[in-house]
Amino acid sequence: MGIFSLITGRPGPSGFGSASTAEQVTEGVDASNLTAIVTGGASGIGFETARVLALRKAHVVIATRNLDAANEAKQLILKDNEAARVDVLKLDLCSMKSIRAFVDNFNALNLPLNLLINNAGIMFCPFQLSQDGIESQFATNHIGHFLLTNLLLDKMKSTARTTDIEGRIVNLSSIAHLHTYENGIKFDGINDEKSYSDKRAYGQSKLANILHVKELSRRLQEDGANITVNAVHPGLIMTNLFRHSAVLMKILQLLSYILWKNVPQGAATTCYVALHPSMKGETGKYYLDCNEMAPSAYASDETLAKKLWDFSNKLVNSPPTTSN
């Protein structure tokens, strides 16, 4: 997939390209036997992902910090699709306490779990620490989803085993993973405010999303679990993720307007990887415009992926500070 394909929307080997929408790439798919969690499913491409999964008859759980926004999103989905099955649960990925409470609340619903869409994220934020004392972009975009995924894995494994339906995990990464700190992940200075760069910290968290996929995929295959895990770059979409750098992004949008997608196009790759039959058995990969793409050298480094896994486990089990 080159720059020509990006600009023209010309389809790649999958039959889809940058101009494809989430509805188009899931046309004809019956997901009525699937249950999905979509983090950050109340707005932007997360909402479009939740809407299209519900349109294809999946039971969708919107997991988000803002319950008012989530309930509004649910009503919007039901307005156009009265038969939609949508639940709403509170989840703050910046808080391990909230993540654990979410998993308890989800398990209390006694639902299966086939699809986990790790969509939520923050971008280009000023330096701040999470409730657990971890740099906020790394905490929210990577550590939060790392813990959430680990806590839901047993449920996903048992669902896949009892239903004989392949489970799928999708991590939303970004082409921004190319723009990270020296050596990829700043293991020895994750909370170093002096060397903090809001852009590189975002890139680092998006690199971590792909490395998470690489190592988790390896472990799931080793376990013989019927679950795939892949990363996607949704494309350049002007959503409220850009609230911390609106002026800069408006300028970039004017300069590169032809590369920007609308929200239905932005959700296409997530929905393709989550639902399309041709994705069966595909795991540990990175997708852009509904086609496989080679990520950066850092993102392909198996040793780095294992090191990040161990580092993340340590942070989850012994966070720098614990909020009351």
Which DSSP string do the residues of 275-295 spell out, in sequence order? H-GGGTT--S-EEETTEE---
Question: Residue 202 catalytic?
Answer: no
Contact (Cβ atoms closer than 8 angstroms) between residue 284 and residue 305: no
Summarize pLDDT for 84-93 with one digit per residue, the tens.
Answer: 999 999 999 9
Q: What is the DSSP letter of 125?
A: P
Average pLDDT estimate for 130-153 = 98
Query: Beta strand 286-288 with 291-292: parallel, antiparallel or unpaired?
Result: antiparallel
Closest by alpha carbon to 106, among 70, 60, 45, 142?
60
Report d(CA 266, CA 255) in Å as an integer.
19
The predicted structure's pLDDT at residue 222: 98
Summarize pLDDT for 1-60 with one digit per residue, the tens.
Answer: 444 444 445 789 999 998 899 999 999 999 999 999 999 999 999 999 999 999 999 999
Task: Evaluate if pTM is beyond 0.85.
Answer: yes
Name the catalytic one among 196, 202, 272, 287: 196
User: How crowded is residue 130: how many other Cβ atoms within 10 Å of its Cβ?
Assistant: 24
Report d(CA 39, CA 133) in Å as an integer.
22
- Calculated CA dihedral for residues 146, 151, 152, 155, nearest 10 degrees: 150
